Amino acid sequence: MRFGRANATTTSPIAAGRRGPIEAWQFAKAWRVSSRVLSVVLDAPLDTAFDYLWVATQEEQVPTKGQLVLVPFGRRQTIGLVIAVKDSSEIEPAKLRQLLQVRGQLPALSDHWISLCRFAAEYYQRPLGEVALPSLPKGLRTESTVALDRGLKKLAQTPPQPMPDTSVQRPQLNTEQHIAVDAIVSAEGYQAYLLFGVTGSGKTEVYLNAAERVLQRARDDGRPAQVLIMVPEINLTPQLEASVRARFPGLQVVSLHSQLAEGERLRHWLAAHIGRADIVLGTRLAVLSSMPHLNMIIIDEEHDPSYKQQEGLRYSARDLAVWRAHQLQIPVVLGSATPSAESWLHVSTGRYQRLQLTQRAAQNAQLPKVRLIDTEINKAADGFSPPLLAALKQRLEKGEQSLLFLNRRGYAPVMHCDACGWISNCRRCTAFMVLHKPERRLRCHHCSLELRIPPACPTCGNVDLQPLGRGTQRVEEHLQHVFPDARVMRIDADSTRRKGSAQAAFDAVHRGDVDILLGTQMVAKGHDFQRLTLVGVINPDTALFSQDYRAGERLFAQLMQVAGRAGRAGRTTVNDDGASQSEVLIQTRYPQHPLYQALLAHDYQGFADTMLAERRSANLPPYSFQALLRAEAKDLQLALDFLTQARALLPHQGVSINDPVPMAMTRVAGIERAQLLLESASRPQLQAFLRPWMQALRSIKTRVNWMLEVDPIDI
């Protein structure tokens, strides 16, 4: 790269060459003493660092590793991260471009944080700059320092907080909770704990007590300390944040997730980076936040697939959190009522220590009774079997809340014509266009294409087009017809599009302003509905026959989680004879299926052991390791040809590469998609193959867009 123009306070050695020999030598020596070469990574698809020349102005300190800098790159200016500082005598300065600015007002990012980003880059096969820079708030990645200066100024105006007041009311822990907290806080160095607790068993109380003791112990020792608590979805953050703030009114608690305004996210990130934030709550992006005094990591609902990023850097936040805990030699707690197959296997092999909560925390609270409604016998009309309707009516008469779970939004999955067989296919995707009746639109949930509902069949002209199947909007309509006096609320991605609308809806449920709550997976986990005693599940059977080997695991987790919303308040959920009033009704055509039989007994352990045995016999994860190369092109054959070429690039001993195939969803937004699956019994062997293979892939000149995903969860 060419050397940039010198600034007003310096003169380059090239210009000094016009001086006399002695004078020029002395000037060049002074130049080298007051300059350094900085190795900088950028947010660019180039797996290399770039060298820039830094020249000191008066009293300016030498930049350090971990600082952000503004540099010229091509014809633009961009923010980079310094990963090394070299003596300028190592490189001829005339060949370098000069640094434009050092963001010296921001403390440098730590070596531990850079190592975390480097590990993620190497494991997920991405350039370091494409991992480190996008993980920072946008306010740090702009040419202007206005947002950064404003954020630092506002942070400086907030005084440090003392530890929490011991007079704050704390629920009394039961024996199992005490054992779990004691084990976590007694860890010396790294230890991974799987907190396996039934729904409503008080896992949050274990988190809060462990966090309090870890923070207090550090304060007693005169050390700063921070705790990171992660949740899988944004809508779970407000409830947890309210609990944390109520417990720790004297601590600084911040949240990090994608729905924060940019200024707010920057301030929260800065509070964590500078060490002012004691507790950071966040979704998966929080795992890459800078926390220089991190002492413990907690991952709630660790099984949830939302922890896996599905765009850009396709990382698992759960796995990175465990690696980060090991790197820092601190404890990490993974909590779930339905642990992932990977975590369950780690317990059996001794990598994780299991802590178990077998009883619900609230006094007299019991797990709800699960009943299976055979829809071959109890025929469903408009999606509801007679026993489910009767149970809903009974709860309404008692003034209790009910929840209906249907993981399909919209009014109906498809519209069709009885006369000619036409169906509402998306013209840009291999998918149906979903009917959204209130908006009078057909909408593709993959490419977001919207069309008006046609007045007649586009093929034969038949005006009697009919919806086929049921989504949450259609079920809501039927509930309002059957129970006109009931207060029905639907919570799904359509009804909660506006910022704050989801939290407002959940607040209404908690206040008791809702009789029947209808929703998708948004309502299935993490919410503590105190008045809810009935859960009804509509049409769960489709997942039983999915080609995805993880479908059963996900369905079981969903049903266990949504079932756990019932009967959480002990004072209202037990009859005089001690029998549980709360119940879960699951409508199914296959009541004898082993998955449903395990649900009847709340037997996750039996289900998990059977699942792992099946995975082992089929040599599927977690007993093998996978990577998936995806290719996209206007023409499917182009994508398949690229994957065929990729398959033959290098010898692959110890790695099995399957044939290229079209993806299950072959076309999205007019782009054809195909994939190539790599498998290995050894994670190190797979990684050793991927590194040179990726270099070879980058050398292929092609019109195909491609991306590699390590440890894919959707195949």
CA distances from 490 to 401, 422, 472, 495, 638 (A): 14, 30, 7, 7, 44
pLDDT tens profile 281-331: 999 999 999 999 999 999 999 999 999 998 889 999 999 999 999 999 999
**Confidence (pLDDT) at 56:** 80
**Span 665-685, mean pLDDT?**
96
pLDDT tens profile 615-658: 999 999 999 999 999 999 999 999 999 999 999 999 989 999 99
Residue 407 in contact with residue 520, Cβ under 8 Å? yes
Residue 347 in contact with residue 192, Cβ under 8 Å? no
Whether residue 29 has pLDDT greater than 80? no
**Span 379-395, mean pLDDT?**
94
| Distance between CA atoms of residues 508 and 519, nearest Å | 14
**Confidence (pLDDT) at 570:** 58
Higher pLDDT, 710 or 46: 710
| φ, ψ (nearest 5 deg) of residue 240 | -70, -40
Output the average pLDDT for the chain.
89
Q: How confident is the model at residue 527 (pLDDT cuts 50, 70, 90)?
A: confident
| φ, ψ (nearest 5 deg) of residue 85 | -120, 125
| Distance between CA atoms of residues 460 and 419, nearest Å | 8
pLDDT tens profile 133-158: 999 999 999 999 999 999 999 988 87
Give the bridge partners for 627, in sequence order: 678, 710
**Confidence (pLDDT) at 35:** 80
pTM for this one? 0.91
Q: How confident is the model at residue 671 (pLDDT cuts 50, 70, 90)?
A: very high
Query: Comparing 84-88, 252-256, 411-415, which segment has the lowest mean pLDDT?
Result: 84-88
**Confidence (pLDDT) at 168:** 79
pLDDT tens profile 86-108: 876 666 767 889 999 999 999 99
Residues 6 or more apart from 354 whose CB is under 8 A from it? 193, 194, 196, 347
**Confidence (pLDDT) at 62:** 82
- The residue type found at 642 is F
| Distance between CA atoms of residues 339 and 505, nearest Å | 28
Whether residue 9 has pLDDT greater than 60? no
**Confidence (pLDDT) at 46:** 87
Whether residue 8 has pLDDT greater than 50? no
In the chain, the percentage of residues whose pLDDT exceeds 90 is: 75
pLDDT tens profile 45-84: 888 999 999 988 755 778 999 999 999 999 999 999 999 9
Q: Around Cβ 352, how many Cβ atoms within 10 Å?
A: 22
What residue ranges define each of the domains in the chain, with the CATH number in brackets? Answer: 13-134 (3.40.1440.60), 175-357 (3.40.50.300), 369-409+471-614 (3.40.50.300), 410-470 (no CATH), 625-710 (3.30.70.600)
